[in-house]
Amino acid sequence: MMMAMNTSIQTVEAPAGLVRLTHFLYALHALGLAIGAFGAASVVGSFVFGWPSIIAVIVNYVKRGDVRGTWLETHFRWQIRTFWFALLWAVFVGLVSLPLAVIVVGIGTWIAGLFLLGVWAIYRIARGWMRLNDHQPMPMP
C-alpha cells in the first residue's frame, strides 16, 4: 500500500530576514558536514555532535513559530528532520555494528553505514539549500 505525500505546501512569502536566517542555518549545517569531511571526525559524527549543527537545530526550534504558515516552515522541518534522522540512524548503525565487531564484520558495517549516512546528510542539506535559493518550499512527506 502506497502512502500519499501531502502536497499542500504553504507558499506565503516570508520576510527577507527569515530567508537570510534560513540560509545561515543551512550554512551552519553545511559547516558541520565540512568539518567532518575534512577533519578527523566522520561526516555524520560531526554533523550530529558538532556545535554548528547543534546550534542550527536549536535555532530551528526557537524560530519555528516565526516561519509558521510561510514556505520557510517546510525548510525548518526539513532541517530538523535531517538532524534527528541522522542521529537515529547513527545510533542504529552503532548498535548493529557493535556486536558484529566481535567477528570483525562490525568494523565494515560501521564504516559503510556512517559513510552512507554522511552522503545522505550531505544530499539533504544540499537539496534543501538549493531549493531555498530558488525560493521553493520543500516537499512535505
**Model-level pTM?**
0.85
How many C-beta atoms surround the C-beta of residue 48 within 10 A? 23
pLDDT at position 141, please?
A: 67
Q: How does residue 11 score in pLDDT terms, banded at 50, 70 and 90?
A: low
How many C-beta atoms surround the C-beta of residue 56 within 10 A? 24
The answer to whether the beta carbons of residues 33 and 122 sit under 8 Å apart is yes
Please, is 140 exposed, middle or buried when counting C-beta atoms within 10 Å of its C-beta (0-12, 13-18, 19+)?
middle
Cα separation, 111 vs 101, in Å, equals 11
For the chain, the structural domain boundaries read 16-133
Q: How does residue 10 score in pLDDT terms, banded at 50, 70 and 90?
A: low
* Most trustworthy range by pLDDT among 10-14, 32-36, 76-80, 115-119: 76-80
Q: What are phi and psi of 6, to 5 degrees?
A: -75, 115
pLDDT at position 61, please?
A: 97
Cα separation, 30 vs 128, in Å, equals 11
Closest CA to 75 of 3, 4, 7, 10: 10
Does the structure show a pLDDT above 70 at 3? no
**What spatial distance separates the first Cα and last Cα of the chain, rounded to whole Å?**
15
- For residue 77, the one-letter residue type is R
pLDDT at position 2, please?
A: 43
pLDDT at position 57, please?
A: 97
* Beta-bridge partners for 140: 6
- Mind listing the pLDDT tens digit for each residue in 72-123? 999 999 999 999 999 999 999 889 888 887 787 778 888 888 899 999 999 9
Per-chain mean pLDDT for the chain: 88
Q: How many helices (H) and strands (E) does the chain have?
A: 5, 0
